[in-house]
Amino acid sequence: MGSNEFFQEFEVFSKKTSKAAFQHQFSLLAPNAEMAMVMAQENFLRREPVADIWVVNRKEIRGLNYEEKQMLNRLDNKEYRTTKGYGYLKKKWRHYEQQMLDEKEILSWGEK
């Protein structure tokens, strides 16, 4: 049997804690998804803590080639979509003796 049809390529993703985002680890060869899962742990996750693992057959992944990646370059003026365009408010609020409710402040409310 040629190893051509025997091995399939899997990409391995894992996350360190249940809250973390999945991170790409590396790829491996395995005859099926079950073996890929075993090998993912053996190959890439021998030391660091791990909360979850995905193995994805490469056949199922649609990626971008070099030419397509060039289309990802952002237009340079996106200020109207970001808080950067409203940075002047900080100074305004200071004038009214109020603090700006910025991203850091607003996201901290979830912890309270």
Which chain residues interact with other proteins by CB under 8 A?
Answer: 1-7, 26-29, 31-32, 34-35, 39, 42-44, 46, 63, 65-67, 70
Shortest distance, CB of residue 60 to other proteins, whole angstroms?
A: 15
**Contact of 10 with 54, CB cutoff 8 Å:** no
Q: 7 or 100: whose CB is closer to other proteins? A: 7
Q: Which is nearer to other proteins, 54 or 57 (CB)?
A: 57
* Residue placing its CB nearer to other proteins in the complex, 18 or 65: 65
